[in-house]
């Protein structure tokens, strides 16, 4: 058994493990995010997100699920737009990138403890959290940055 460990697959696994560890080095973990004056200044990953990916997380019922609460003219073709939160048309004109990041990481830090908007980059261990989300944030750091990049495209014409 142990003798078979020197396979190409095993070496590849070590290689991929090293690459992943390097890529994660710049990532700020949920418990380390600093929210100051309702802003999180720096990208959680150290790089800008991808707006095309972000638009997918925005409408995904399993991930961001932003559309369940927010209208958004840019996604007018999608079936259901909720109205629990304000429409996000032109949101890029209302908030800076750092403010959008703080809202996404932990909406309570910007809107106060009563807001019903969930925090998307916090670690939860409460009873009310679905088991798959216990102990990990709803979105990854990369997904948060993707959504921010997408929100930055939502300008009033």
- Residues of the shown chain interacting with ligand HEC in the complex, contacts defined by CB under 6 A: 58, 64-66, 68-70, 84-86, 88, 91, 94, 100, 103-104, 111, 115-118, 120, 147, 151
Quote the least distance from Cβ 45 to ligand HEC, whole Å. Answer: 16
Which bin fits 145, alpha (ψ -120 to 50), beta or left (φ > 0)?
alpha
Quote the least distance from Cβ 111 to ligand HEC, whole Å. Answer: 4
What angle do helix axes 51-59 and 141-151 make, rounded to 10 degrees? Answer: 100
Quote the least distance from Cβ 113 to ligand HEC, whole Å. Answer: 10
Identify which of residues 12 and 68 has a Cβ nearer to ligand HEC in the complex.
68
Quote the least distance from Cβ 62 to ligand HEC, whole Å. Answer: 12
Could you tell me what percentage of the chain is helix, strand and coil, using 3-state DSSP and rounding each to the nearest 5? 45, 5, 55
Identify which of residues 11 and 97 has a Cβ nearer to ligand HEC in the complex.
97
Identify which of residues 28 and 63 has a Cβ nearer to ligand HEC in the complex.
63
Quote the least distance from Cβ 123 to ligand HEC, whole Å. Answer: 17
Identify which of residues 28 and 85 has a Cβ nearer to ligand HEC in the complex.
85
Identify which of residues 22 and 127 has a Cβ nearer to ligand HEC in the complex.
127
What angle do helix axes 97-105 and 141-151 make, rounded to 10 degrees? Answer: 130
C-alpha 88/C-alpha 26 separation (Å) is 30
Which DSSP string do the residues of 42-94 spell out, in sequence order?
Answer: S-SSSS---HHHHHHHHH-TTTT-GGGT---GGGTTSS----SS---TTHHHH
């Amino acid at each position: 058994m142990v003798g078979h460990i020197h396979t190409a697959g095993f070496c590849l696994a070590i290689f991929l493990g090293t690459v992943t560890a390097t890529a994660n080095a710049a990532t700020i973990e949920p418990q380390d995010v600093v929210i100051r004056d309702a802003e999180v200044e720096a990208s959680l990953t150290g790089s800008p997100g991808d707006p095309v990916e972000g638009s997918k997380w925005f409408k995904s019922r399993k991930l961001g699920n932003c559309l369940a609460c927010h209208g958004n003219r840019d996604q007018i073709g999608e079936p259901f737009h909720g109205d629990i939160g304000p429409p996000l048309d032109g949101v890029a004109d209302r908030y800076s990138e750092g403010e959008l990041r703080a809202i996404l990481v932990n909406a309570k830090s910007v809107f106060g403890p009563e807001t019903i908007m969930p925090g998307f980059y916090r670690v939860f261990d409460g009873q009310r959290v679905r088991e798959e989300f216990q102990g990990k944030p709803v979105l990854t750091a990369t997904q948060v940055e993707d959504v921010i990049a997408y929100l930055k495209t939502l300008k009033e014409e």
